[in-house]
Amino acid sequence: MMDEFEAIRPYADAEVPTVMARLFDDQTFLAILARFRFPRLAGSLGWALKPLIARYLRKEFAGLETVDALQEKIEPYIDRTIERATDGITYSGLEQLQRGRAYLFLANHRDIVMDPAFVNYAVYQAGLRTPRIAIGDNLLQRPFVSDLMRLNKSFIVHRSITGRREKLAAYQLLSAYINHSIRQDGESVWIAQAEGRAKDGDDRTDSAILKMLHMSRKDEPFAQAMAELRPTPVSISYEYDPCDQAKARELYIRATTGSYTKAPGEDDASIALGITGYKGRVHVHFGAPMERVPEDAKQFAVALDREILGNYRLFPVNYLAYHMWAGKDPALEVPDAATLFNEQELQRAHAEWSKRLAACPSVQQPYLVEQYATPVRNQYQIRQHG
């Protein structure tokens, strides 16, 4: 049965040893690890470091034969990354999930790798099975990235297809795979609420994604087919976004020239910065799985947004940005940060926020402010207008 999904599915346990062996022979992958682990030596001594790293990896991961065992092995590395790059991660709402049940996690999207990684981490810590992760093929230009992601339960979303019929076929297959995962395999799925990160901080569910989920279940009413997937809204909040300056720059260039073209290697740089850059505190909230789904995709998107935006954790920096934002909504009653947070927390936020503003060219600053301010507007609009 799984063969129809051959081109997009994650690797199965039986494939783990072969793929690992291929990875540890991949010179590009080894070079990146050398640069990451030994930044000073990698340039001049890369040739000598690569075989050493390959030998270390073969020994470290010897005898691993399942995806679960691999995730267990990687977990301490994730712990270390979280310790180094954050001031701690908290999560809420996990008690609403049951062991042995599969869910469709629909999450806001701010960071390419860390969004699903933090969801995975929370679910893993709670003793639940980690989800399969939807990832765009635009991020898989290099074979080793594709191997790494598919080893870690990622499946491929073909975004770079241009022909209308091919696109339709790709979405049909994706829809069938997600439904098959949850309904037949009993495996949860994580997917972002929209294609591409919300660079302006405005997290909105794209109803096209919800329609795609229904494509392979056209014989069932929309609401019923969606409810079977147990859609679970997830809000991921980063106190600080390591890629905020790059996003502000991109938004500024788009606004002033009408378009933006990524430089070669830009995605790789975003991924690396997103993983290693300072995030402050991180909070992941799992909403209650939706037992009743509205009759159409547009209403479903609105219901998801209400949950995702309403449960987004706002930090002091969000309020600081909101009160200096030219786009703030005068009809909203948004309290001052000083009434919500203690003095020490506020001082830290003021210092970090001033540093970020100072690092941002003045013409790009409004776009930096907007990223942090928009979630405040979105949440208070829901609070005031329901």
What is the distance between the alpha carbons of residues 166 and 144, in angstroms, rounded to a whole number?
A: 25
Given a contact cutoff of 8 angstroms between Cβ atoms, the answer to whether 36 and 81 are in contact is: no
More confident residue, 6 or 265: 6
Q: What is the pTM of this model?
A: 0.93
Task: State residue 39's pLDDT score.
Answer: 73
The total number of residues written for the chain in this structure = 386
Given a contact cutoff of 8 angstroms between Cβ atoms, the answer to whether 42 and 170 are in contact is: no
Per DSSP, the residues of 84-129 read HH-S-EEEE-GGGS-TT---EEEE--S-TTHHHHHHHHHHHHTTPP
What is the distance between the alpha carbons of residues 121 and 282, in angstroms, rounded to a whole number?
A: 12
What is the distance between the alpha carbons of residues 146 and 150, in angstroms, rounded to a whole number?
A: 6
Q: What percent of the chain has pLDDT over 90?
A: 78
- Say whether pLDDT at 303 is over 60: yes
What is the distance between the alpha carbons of residues 31 and 47, in angstroms, rounded to a whole number?
A: 8
What is the distance between the alpha carbons of residues 157 and 138, in angstroms, rounded to a whole number?
A: 9
The encoded tokens of residue 2 equal 């799984």
Residues of the chain with CATH 3.40.1130: 65-313
The encoded tokens of residue 15 equal 């494939």
Residue 236, SS3?
Answer: strand
More confident residue, 289 or 78: 289
- Say whether pLDDT at 122 is over 90: yes
Q: Which DSSP category does 327 fall into?
A: T
Find the farthest-apart pair of alpha carbons in the chain and give their distance in angstroms, rounded: 63
More confident residue, 270 or 244: 244
Q: Which fold has domain 65-313?
A: Glycerol-3-phosphate (1)-acyltransferase (3.40.1130)
Given a contact cutoff of 8 angstroms between Cβ atoms, the answer to whether 231 and 290 are in contact is: yes
Task: State residue 86's pLDDT score.
Answer: 96
Centroid of chain to Cα 280: 17
Given a contact cutoff of 8 angstroms between Cβ atoms, the answer to whether 106 and 290 are in contact is: no
Lowest-pLDDT range, 55-59, 238-242, 349-353?
55-59
Residue with token string 């600081």: 320
The encoded tokens of residue 315 equal 């930090």
- Say whether pLDDT at 2 is over 70: no
Segment 265-292 mean pLDDT: 92
Q: What is the dihedral of CA 197, 198, 201, 206, to 10 degrees?
A: -140
Side chain identity at residue 13, one-letter code = D
Side chain identity at residue 380, one-letter code = Y
The residue among 278, 352, 356, 349 whose CA lies nearest residue 85 is: 278
Given a contact cutoff of 8 angstroms between Cβ atoms, the answer to whether 157 and 136 are in contact is: yes
Lowest-pLDDT range, 56-60, 74-78, 227-231, 241-245?
74-78
* 205-262 pLDDT per residue, tens: 999 999 999 999 999 999 999 999 999 999 999 999 999 999 999 999 999 999 999 9
What is the distance between the alpha carbons of residues 185 and 175, in angstroms, rounded to a whole number?
A: 14
Average pLDDT, the chain: 93
| Long-range pairs of 355-358 with CB within 8 A, sequence gap ≥ 24 | 356/240, 356/244, 356/245
Q: Which DSSP category does 210 fall into?
A: H
Centroid of chain to Cα 293: 24
